[in-house]
Amino acid sequence: MPDPRSAAGPRGARAEAVVDLAAVRHNVEVLTAAAPGAALMAVVKADGYGHGAVPVARAALDAGATWLGVCTLDEALELRGGGIGAPVLSWLHLPDEDFAPAIAAGIDLSVASRAHLAAVADGARRAGRPARVHLKVDTGLSRGGAVPDDWPDLLDDTAKAGAAGDCEVVAVWSHLAHADIPDHPMLDVQAARLTVAWQAAVDRGFAPIRHLANSAATLTRPDLHFDLVRPGIAVYGLDPLERPVSESPLRPAMTLSARVALVKRVAAGEGVSYGHAWTAETDTTLALVPIGYADGVPRRLNFGGRLRVLLGGRLRPVVGRVCMDQVVVDCGPVCGEATGGNPEGEIEVTVGDRAVLFGPGSSGEPTAQDWADELGTIHYEVVTGVHGRRVLRTVVDGPGVDGPGVDGPGVDGVCP
């Protein structure tokens, strides 16, 4: 990971999410090795789970992925705009969206209903080429996908659209409800239902592939790999089985940090931040770090004093409430130039030092899984929640490499 005391970029980003593409490639190699008989689709929806869709997609393809998966048409077209020509599947749409630009760009489209198919066929006619469709069947998640009773009618309409030259069937697919519990009986039920739907498509004269496995099933259920696996969260090094970093073959790719803006001494009895939820028991030193809930640090994370940051070589507690723009770190009685010395030999904390909120955990910093455990949520929410114009995303290629940093919304600093 980048040196937590360094300030990346010529000006030094006040708040920064560093994304390590070497970790992404490592994770894709692990996933590819886990599914040697299947192609691999790296899911880069939600701007690559907050890591940057285009750079992550390129790294994943370099490491052996052959497909990419996204949620929306705009996300798919962003990949094409980034010069990526690999197969891309986009899977969540309203039936009144304009599918013509995506079809013209060679984007594969998921179809889950007759209304969606009709809209896709219309887009194909306007694009002047057949749409590549993945027919989605609901095998038990009860979200997207055609229910079994509607499947024959969807196949009928698809056959007519195919005969008219408006579509070609690439795949029959579905999504798992309990993949994080590898021996859950519902996995076998869903696989059987997918096979029934796929066989019905084959019996109609189609030649589709099958895909079902997400990250967890890619790593634990080789019988569910079929023709294509679709790992998402594991691409970013976050273990779908929530194993500790030390026990997982994956490497987290994102490190979130911010630079200290102010170091100050406060006396015993002084309250800190809104509501004085925390009061100094002794004279202490505080560091002000300019990152808050507007940037992806959940306000509820520090109720009870649970949030720690790696600062000055030590884990230190965030005290008081997480604010919209800032947090306060208790550095103890010996900290920084405000103390007039460092008699105990502790690493000093000074303005400009970098506080690491979460990262791979390799230097003792908290991880996204640690945050998720404290919040009672999943690490998906943690990394996708890092957002806003004020958090610079810096892309590096290997641990310990600092990107140059480029200020501005949605702009990545890229270090070759």
Q: Which residues are catalytic?
A: 45, 274
How would you write the chain as a 3-class SS string?
A: CCCCCCCCCCCCCCEEEEEEHHHHHHHHHHHHHHCCCCEEEEECHHHHHCCCHHHHHHHHHHCCCCEEEECCHHHHHHHHHCCCCCCEEECCCCCCCCCHHHHHCCCEEEECCHHHHHHHHHHHHHHCCCEEEEEEECCCCCCCCECHHHHHHHHHHHHHHHHCCCEEEEEEECCCCCCCCCCCHHHHHHHHHHHHHHHHHHHCCCCCEEECCCHHHHHHCHHHCCCEECCCHHHHCCCCCCCCHHHCCCCCCEEEEEECCEEEEECCCCEECHHHCEECCCCEEEEEECCCCCCCCCHHHHCCCCCEEEECCEEEEEECCCCCCCEEEEEECCCCHHHCCCCCCCCCCCCCCEEEEECCCCCCCCCHHHHHHHHCCCHHHHHHCCCCCCCEEEEECCCCCCCCCCCCCCCEEECC
